Structure formats: C-alpha cells, structure tokens
C-alpha cells in the first residue's frame, strides 16, 4: 500500500509518516516511480508508535519499541529496552502527578484566601479584620523542587 492509504488506516497524515521516516523510524520501500510502499508489518509498527504517542511518549522514546518489533519480536515491548522506557515513564508520570497535585493544593489555598477577602468587603464591608501579609503571596517557595527552573509545563 502507498503512503496515503497507510496514513488513513492508521488515522494520521502522510506528513507525519514522512516525518517518522526522516527520524529513522518506519522505513519504506520504493516503487519504480519513487512512491513509498508499505505492508502490514509497517502498519503494526505505526500503530505501536501512535499508541505510545497517545500515552505522551516522545518520538525518540518509541524507538526501542520499533526496533524490538523490527527485530522480529511479537510485540514492541518484548525487549528489555522497551520495559526500561515504560518504567522511566511511570516514574516521570508519578513525579509529574505529585507536582501538579501540590500546585493544585496551593492554588486552591490562594483562591480560598482571595475569595474570603473579596466577600469580606462586599456589601458594606464588615471591616476586614486581621489583614496579615498585605502583599497576598510573595516569594513563593518554588513548587518545582528540582533545579530545572520554570516548569510544570503541561497544563494549558
């Protein structure tokens, strides 16, 4: 089958397939006129890539799975290198989820505090008592503990 059909069957675009090829995943044979040709094995390979992409894996991280399949193994995750990627990804997920949970807690606290202050001075304002820390929140302790500066990056 040609690139258009493969893309359609995998639910992606021809552009993506050419991109994967440029990255060294998913090689293609060529017909006389230069057209790319694929078979069912290529489709399986592509499905493996897409599944992992849906999980949020980088393209590079799908490489061990692809190479495992190409080596003739029944599944992309039949090789140790693939399992290692799974484990690393799990650790990353855990860390990220923890971090996001911490941020959520802090944002919730800020919201609650700000809401109280807002409703306090609403209808006539029952004299806002105890106005501690007038700046609201300053000098935050940096949720992202690691020395990687600026992060969470995954919440827009």
Partner DNA sequence: GTAAGCCTTCACGTCGACGTCAAGGCAAGC
Partner DNA sequence: GCTTGCCTTGACGTCGACGTGAAGGCTTAC
Binding site for its own copies (CB under 8 A): 44, 47-48, 50-51, 53-56, 58, 74-78, 80, 82-83, 86-87, 89-90, 92-94, 96-97, 100-101, 103-104, 106-108, 110-111, 114-115, 117-118, 131, 134-140, 142-144, 150-156
Measure Cα distances from 99 to 31, 92, 107 in Å. 51, 10, 12
Q: Is residue 66 within 8 Å of 53, Cβ to Cβ?
A: no
Q: Does 3 help bind DNA (rule: CB under 7 A)?
A: yes
**In angstroms, rounded to a whole number, what is the distance separating the alpha carbons of residues 127 and 57?**
53
Q: Is residue 21 within 8 Å of 27, Cβ to Cβ?
A: yes
Of DNA, its own copies, none, which one sits near residue 14, judging by CB under 5 to 8 A according to partner kind?
A: DNA
CB of 2 or CB of 121, closer to DNA: 2
**In angstroms, rounded to a whole number, what is the distance separating the alpha carbons of residues 5 and 10?**
9
Q: Which residues pair with 37 in a beta bridge?
A: 2, 29
> Minimum Å distance from CB 52 to DNA?
10
Contact mark string toward DNA, 100..129, x via CB under 7 A = ------------------------------
């Amino acid at each position: 089958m040609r690139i258009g059909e493969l893309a359609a069957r995998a639910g992606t675009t021809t552009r993506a397939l050419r991109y994967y090829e440029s990255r060294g995943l998913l090689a293609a044979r060529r017909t006389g006129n230069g057209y790319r040709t694929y078979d069912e094995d290529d489709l399986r390979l592509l499905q493996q890539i897409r599944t992992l992409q849906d999980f949020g894996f980088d393209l590079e991280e799908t490489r061990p799975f692809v190479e495992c399949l190409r080596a003739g193994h029944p599944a992309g995750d039949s090789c140790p290198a693939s399992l290692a990627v799974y484990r690393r990804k799990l650790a990353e997920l855990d860390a990220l989820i923890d971090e996001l949970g911490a941020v959520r807690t802090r944002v919730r606290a800020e919201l609650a505090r700000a809401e109280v202050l807002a409703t306090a001075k609403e209808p006539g304002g029952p004299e806002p008592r105890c106005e501690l820390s007038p700046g609201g929140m300053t000098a935050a302790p940096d949720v992202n503990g690691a020395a990687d500066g600026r992060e969470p990056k995954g919440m827009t």
